[in-house]
Structure 1
Amino acid sequence: MNSANQEFIRGTIKTIVLQLLAQKGRMYGYEITQSVDERTGGELILTFGALYPVLHKLEDEGLSITQSQEVDGRLRKYYQLTSMGSATAVRKAGEFERFIQLMKLLIHPSPNMAFGK
């Protein structure tokens, strides 16, 4: 993965996590990192150091809840969106799609677009 991708992912981790949880229902940390890796063909790497502060913040904000479950003799913590978290996931997805549209306008301006006005 190149450093530009890593720079872009920093500002979108919350949106990424919200979307994955909205789509899958509930997930644990490693599962989230692997899902990002698989869906992007390894182009984006979500580290645990970046992921867990976001997961804790989602819980603190009331956007997610956690459930612990024993798996193979180990306690695994699952994260699941609250109804407020689900609504936030929809809102953040719309905000991100709008941001992408704006970036496209900046990167590929139409020929008749006047700059500086």
Structure 2
Amino acid sequence: MYSKELTKGTLQPIILKLLGDNEKLYGYELTQKVKALTNGKIDISEGALYPILHKLEAAGILETENKYIGKRVRKYYRVTEQGKIAVQKVTHEMQDFIATLSLLFNNDETTVYSEQ
């Protein structure tokens, strides 16, 4: 599993990407999807997840729908029309960021500099 420090800046893009790829998800379902897709390497805690979901909802990027499961209420999150633009933007930004990191971490020049 990756450290919280390493994943902290990527949680919002991860959440947006998964919600953009699915019609709707509830919080626990979202955490389990991330864990499954990353083979357990990224584990989003509820303490990290819900503040991000609430922030995105307040910004109009997500909307919610409550469904009653017996006596319990399950809150589903879905991307709004405005949110679809945000998903595209963050996906492109993350792809570019990953490519940039690859330049740093897959480059033999950085090894040369560190040996001097």
Answer whether TM exceeds 0.5 for this pair: yes
Whether 1:62 and 2:60 are equivalent positions in the alignment is yes
1:30 corresponds in structure 2 to 28
Structure 1 position 110, deviation (Å)? 6.0
Structure with more of its chain in helix, by fraction: 2
Normalised TM-score (structure 2): 0.88
Structure 1 position 45, deviation (Å)? 0.4
- Output the aligned Cα RMSD: 1.4
1:108 corresponds in structure 2 to 106
Partners in 2 of 1:22 and 1:79 — Cα distance?
A: 10
Identity %: 38
Question: 1:1-117 to 2 correspondence within 5 Å?
Answer: 1-3=1-3, 6-109=4-107
Q: How many residues align?
A: 110
Partners in 1 of 2:59 and 2:95 — Cα distance?
A: 23
**Segments ≥4 residues shifted beyond 6 Å:** none
SS at match of 2:13: helix
Q: For residues 17-58 of structure 1, what are the alpha-carbon distances to aligned partners after superposition, in whole Å with 9 as ceiling and x for unaligned?
A: 111111111110000000011111111100000000000000
**Structure 2: tracts of 5 or more residues without a match:** none
